[in-house]
Amino acid sequence: MRPAGDKLPRHFFHTDSLLVTHLPNVRYLTGFTGSSGCALITPRQKLFFTDFRYRQQACLEVKGFGVRITPGAALEGACRYATGRGLRLGVLGYDGAHLRHGEYLLLRRLLRGVKMKNAAGAVEEMRMVKQKSEIRRVGEACRLVDDAYRRLARSRVVGRPEKEVAWMLEKWLREAGSGPLPFGIIVASGPRAAMPHGAAGDRVIRKGEVVVVDMGASVDGYASDATRTFATGRLPRRLSQIYGLVREAQESAVAGCLAGAAGAAVDALARDHIAAAGHGDEFGHALGHGVGLEAHESPVLSKRSHDKLKAGMVITIEPGVYVEGLGGVRIEDTVLVTARGPERLTGFSRKIEYLK
């Protein structure tokens, strides 16, 4: 992917300069993939700072920014460089959503006299609409997840601990070419399926229950995210009805993912359908979120969302119903918003699949 540093807006939330410390944002702007670095953008310069460990890597990866190697931490080096060179920062924006308190105090100490403003979300706003190369990478990560689900559907899981199944899935994803997984794989069976983020544990999967699996892959740093709920035999009638309800809610919400639609309105398409069936209190999380360099990023689709969908956004649609003591159902796809309508990037069957 070409770094986005050449597409920077003139002003960031009414600031003159911007200090970027959140690594996914740094990568988006500069192309740097290491674990220590920050970017400083002024009216006259675009500078990237890192330490000795990444000297060669930064020279290979960073595009459109001057590379500066600091003797210590990148953030401190950027501040000392700015004051030592007398850079005109004006009002400096910083990322209050990701900057630790100690780092903020460091900025105040090293940049005395500089007026600072919280510019949280400035780069995230740019990242919401994806370039074609970004969409291609997310699509490749989605195909890896689809393939893993197909293999799981042919595998035997009854009698195996959840964490063994999770490790099997992770192994398949990495062997197929995934980079580091964007989040820990969720495998939650039986009553534990009522835990929306139930990490895989020691529980042995039994016959006649649901198994919720939530996983993602990554390709060149770009993530995918998809959830399917499986059955290990005939389910209680109530769970079967809930599965059908969640599937209907997901279909309705995906169809509503149109350019210009409000995130809260898309959320309501699923939430109202679930509430009308008497399960409103058992769907307590947001409908979806953006996917890209992070598995969870902007925009947000929830009843409190102020975001609007635009062509080029990649989002998840993941309604769920969770009944304590019984189990839960969630169906999630990664979806591309286009000018022609929504396009599912994850395509594994949404009909209930039965595992042996």
- Give pLDDT tens digits along the chain (356 positions): 556 655 555 455 678 999 999 999 999 999 999 999 999 999 899 999 999 999 999 999 999 999 999 998 999 999 999 999 999 999 999 999 999 999 999 999 999 999 999 999 999 999 999 999 999 999 999 999 999 999 999 999 999 999 999 999 999 999 999 999 999 999 999 999 999 999 999 999 999 999 999 999 999 999 999 999 999 999 999 999 999 999 999 999 999 999 999 999 999 999 999 999 999 999 999 999 999 999 999 999 999 999 999 999 999 999 999 999 999 999 999 999 999 999 999 999 999 999 99
CATH, range 4-127: 3.40.350.10
Write down the pTM of the prediction: 0.94
Task: Give residue-wise pLDDT tens across range 126-168.
Answer: 999 999 999 999 999 999 999 999 999 999 999 999 999 999 9
Q: CA–CA separation, 223 vs 221, rounded Å?
A: 7
Distance of CA 20 to the CA centre of its chain: 19
Domain segments of the chain as ranges: 4-127, 132-344
Q: CA–CA separation, 1 vs 6, rounded Å?
A: 13
How many C-beta neighbours within 10 Å does residue 64 have?
16
CATH, range 132-344: 3.90.230.10
Task: Supply φ then ψ for residue 288, to 5 degrees.
Answer: -175, 180
